[in-house]
Structure formats: C-alpha cells, structure tokens
Amino acid sequence: MDLIEFYVDKNYNERLDYFLSKKLIDVSRTYISKLIKDGLITVNGEKTKPRYLAREGDLITIKLPKPKELEIIPENIPLDIIFEDRDILVVNKPKGMVTHPAPSNTTNTLVNGLIYYNNSISSVGDITRPGIVHRLDKDTSGVLVIAKNQKSYEVLVEQFKRRKVKRMYIALVYGQLQLKEATVNAPIGRHPIDRKKMAVVYENSKDAITIYKVLREFRDYSLLELHLQTGRTHQIRVHMAYLNHPIVGDMIYSKRKNEFNITSQLLHAKAIGFYHPRNGKYMEFESQLPDEFLNIIELLEKRNR
C-alpha cells in the first residue's frame, strides 16, 4: 500500500473527492470516493465523507492499495508482423485490439498474442505489459515496435523519453483547417468533469506537442498527416477536438454527425522510425491504411471530381 500525505495550501471550496481527482490524475473520482468511504483517505487523521470541503491547513492522508498483479494468458491470436529480428518485433495492430491487458480487459489483447508467439517476451519490461514500449488506443490501427529482450526495452524506452522516435499518423478530420501546416502545443490532462476523458487543461497536465500537415481537402473533411513530439493519452484525438476539427468516427471527442456509420476514429499509425537498440542503425517501418479507411477516402475522392 502506497502512502501519500500533504497539507492543503488554501481553501478551494471543492468537495474532497473532486479536489483529489485533480491531484491524483490517474485515479478516478469514483474510486477516490470509495477510498474515502473505506477510511483509506482521511483528513487530519479522521474519517470523513466525499462531500467534505477541503480547508487550508488540512492534512490529507491517502493509503493507495497496490493494484493486483494481472495473470497474462498466452492466446493464439494472429499477428501481422512487419519485421522481426532477435531484438525487436514490429507489428501492424488492427483496429479493435487493446494493446495490453488491464483489469477490465484481460484477454484478446496484443500482449496475449505476443507471449503466445514468443513466451520469452513475458519477462521483458513491465510485468503487466511485457515488451510494450509504447501503445495505441484500442480503435487506432497501425504500427507498433515491441522489445524482445530487456536491453532492447531499456534502449527503446529511452529513445521515446528523449523524443528520438518518429511517429507519423494519418487521420480524417471534420472541416477544413485554416492553417494547412502547424504545430499544436497545448498541455493535456484529465478532463475536469469526465475523468474517463482527456482534455487540454493548464493544471495537473503534461506538455503535449503535435505537428500536422493537410494532405488533401474534401468538401467537408480534411486528410491529415500528423507527427507526435510527445505521447500523451489520446493526444491526437484531444488536440484535433481542441482545434474544433475532431477525428471522424471518434465517439468520445466528437458529437458530430457520422455519415459513414463507423463507430471508431479514422486514425492510423502509418509509420514509426527509431534507432535499432543493438547496432544503432536508423530504421523506419510503415503499415498500409485499413480497407475501411481507404474506402472512405475513395468515396470522398469521387465526390470531389
């Protein structure tokens, strides 16, 4: 159990559960309320209620239970392998596949398939997501690099940390952007109300930088090439919604009419480039757009004629 203690620096006039949900950005408000009710969050050493208003000088004590370790079950899931050697594996993840297990989703993930394909990967990196050095959202398709040994894992993680990895995406967004090429530099953190979403916020957030370029304009849509300089959760989706040009099909960050009857975002990780963890040679890999994405582009091209 992790222990966190701090003093409230001023009167925020906010419920304790809401106040703490902004401090503990990876913990949901619902779970925080449960911890308060269970006596694992106290104020000045006393049990309290989620509706308590935090006051200046209050001592908040939080006892965070350690998450239960997940048992990752090898599953015979077909993998679309683009490249493989003794150190790395590059795969094309399909839309609809979760990258790694979580308490709410323990099977049919990419990691389940990876450790069936090569069980030695199960001892690489984080025990809950072995081999994974970056991830894609469930409904984002495209290219991922996997570490097959600990040394490769450490080298690749460091490259991501130092922003040495090229990550290029293709997206179809609503509308036509005024600037045809630009950099979006806007910090991202948990949405202040809906804790399942991310948003551009300026408190309890992390820097987030996305570079985009318009590849093709259609009547009501634009096809973009985007490059990540940082890797925040839902980054491209949040930044495009922030610009009021959300990604077509995004059921979380867009409320616009979807004429294509799709239920997931048209966002594809097209290319990744990095330095090989053993020999230092720069490598770059690409994956083809899914048929659904290609068919929609073809339809829009026909309309433009």
Output the pLDDT for position 29.
Answer: 83
Does residue 30 sit in helix, strand or coil?
Answer: helix
pTM: 0.81
For the domain bounded by 68-162, which CATH number is listed?
3.30.2350.10
Whether the per-residue pLDDT at 69 is higher than 70: the answer is no
Least confident of 130-139, 141-150, 250-259, 265-274: 250-259
Q: Could you state, in order of their start, the residue ranges of all structural domains in the chain?
A: 2-64, 68-162, 168-269+293-304
2-64 domain in CATH 3.10.290.10?
Answer: yes
Contacts 24+ apart (CB under 8 A), 31-36: 35/62, 35/63, 35/64
Verify whether residue 137 is a known catalytic residue.
yes
14-53: per-residue pLDDT in tens?
A: 899 989 988 886 677 888 999 999 999 999 999 999 999 9
Q: What's the pLDDT at 102?
A: 85
Please tell me which residue, 21 or 224, carries the higher pLDDT value: 224
User: Does residue 103 surpass a pLDDT of 80?
Assistant: no
Pairing mode of beta strands 46-47, 41-43: antiparallel
> What's the mean pLDDT in 237-242?
98
Task: Kindly name the residue from 58, 87, 137, 250 that is annotated as catalytic.
Answer: 137
**Rounded to an integer, what is the distance from CA 186 to the centroid of its chain?**
16
Give the per-residue pLDDT at 67: 66
Q: Quick one: pLDDT at residue 111?
A: 97
The predicted structure's pLDDT at residue 71:
82
State yes or no: pLDDT of 86 exceeds 80: yes
Closest-CA residue to 5 (of 33, 34, 44, 37): 44
pLDDT at 237 exceeding the cut of 80 = yes
Question: Do the domains 68-162 and 168-269+293-304 sit in the same CATH topology, yes or no?
Answer: yes
State in words which class domain 168-269+293-304 has. Answer: alpha beta
Helix (H) or strand (E) holding 190: strand 188-190
